[in-house]
Structure 1
């Protein structure tokens, strides 16, 4: 079997295996993809400033989140409709995360019941990502079920009052439930392994939404609940409502400005996730890594430190090191584990996480950092823009 040397290898394998419709849903961003590209490019703006002749013989990437151990400042982040990429993908993602010693964040839009994910991975550290619909009883049900299943941290996603414009989905006719057009049938014929799995296991359903709505699985209806029926009135004072239903940590996910970071802190959030939703909402925004330093500075200057996480564009262990050095408590891995599950199922997720953990460890040793606490801004340098060489005509 072909050996994968980096996350990009898994991305290419996922592209080969998935239909165009499925891969574009995984890979695509909003509008022209400017924010999506910027998320990756932001990491290239920073270079390392390594220190040598330091003892890294006992180098460790281990950290803690609210007193609970993690193998690295990483978590497998929330992604929806994962059953489109592999059957029982949420269970496979959660299992690989637990085996790697990392938290797993389950999406409201998961295609497996949160109870089934917990049953499949009873030993895993699990967090829940929450969308709030107009009928708040749905979110209240989701929180109750997650509490009963032993989920400990809640990520309240606030950057998706409506879905961003995604041209690729329009071009592909991506609409839930999927309709078998001649174009899709031809695409399926070119990707027999994916097509066989979809036939054998059935089309993915938004099971968690269905259970909390109290209805049988109905993909068309529950996709509408998730998109067109979001609560547009959700405000900062509603963190009090969330606290009434959630005793654990509460993170606000989707923060992109200093002003909103301060408001999250003022309203008692335990943490925030600096995120532009993977470049899938607004087509043109700052990359989370660009927004991170001023946000960290702002919240650090106001009393007790609030945990600041980041997602978007992480494809290397070196990216994790850069985010932590710029002040992030940790990063959420989103597309990278999906490339793994789309390429090879659970084995692929395990492979991606092993690569990222290994790269982070190597990066830390080469930087002269024996532990995560030594990853500071002093180990980074802003790189000057490199001008393309103009070749002289012969």
Structure 2
């Protein structure tokens, strides 16, 4: 089926098919209406793990820390010719043919897709951006999102894209369908993000743009950097599994009364594993993302809690967190105020800059005095 054959019946099916993915997006967007934060907005960049002294016992320190990943410069892969037209079957099973990549829109909740396009050497063809695309090379592009992460149909049409690459993390979904109805090829890539899927995401984007060789090279480079960083982090993780930090990823939006625990298959579990932590949500059988309960917090009893920066701010910081979730005070993380936060648009981005994200988080976890 081609994109131009999508009718109203197909539209209803698509909406149902992406409902689960949009739930994650809706949670992330709740209460988030401003411009994406850059490293400068959050304070000094966290120093590299290789340049700091890690603590001998990560359970011995108290107090919060903030991880700020460095804004690494784009290093485009340019070896490999572009071949168009490119016909692919996207993540929703739709056959899409791309004949023109002179005006590209790459849109998702974390800005990862646009970063991939730039790293594939096609950044000069990107005509606009989402609010999370804040790396320096793209920061001057016009926005096609409003009220935080809502897609603006008029702005997208004004940008006159010849191809749109997106996932189901942004809405309203009717806007994407409207772009298809307007004859714009729309490629929907897999919305499930994790450290393990970074390479696959890159190759999906590259295949859509007719540069599969570049995609293979970028995926190899990125996964090699991730593997090297995970090995570097492993060297500072306590050798005895009993001494490793028990971690959980907590999502909160205090002004909206939203409190979720990210469990297995949420992507956060792979982040915790890469940091050498024990995923306590997995230990208690927590699947995906679900509203957190006092019982779950107490049963999990994490040593450390990972959070998004805006989420932590929404509950008035570390000191205000127990007022919203009293059970936090009954955990080792709460008693020791051991909370690590990172920018909302960075911590679960799982794109070409994943190694830098891991590096900054590892410093915040294992060398907290060196972090923010």
Asked which structure has the greater RCO (Cα within 8 Å, sep 6+), the reply is 1
Report TM bin, short chain.
under 0.3
TM-score w.r.t. length of structure 2: 0.25
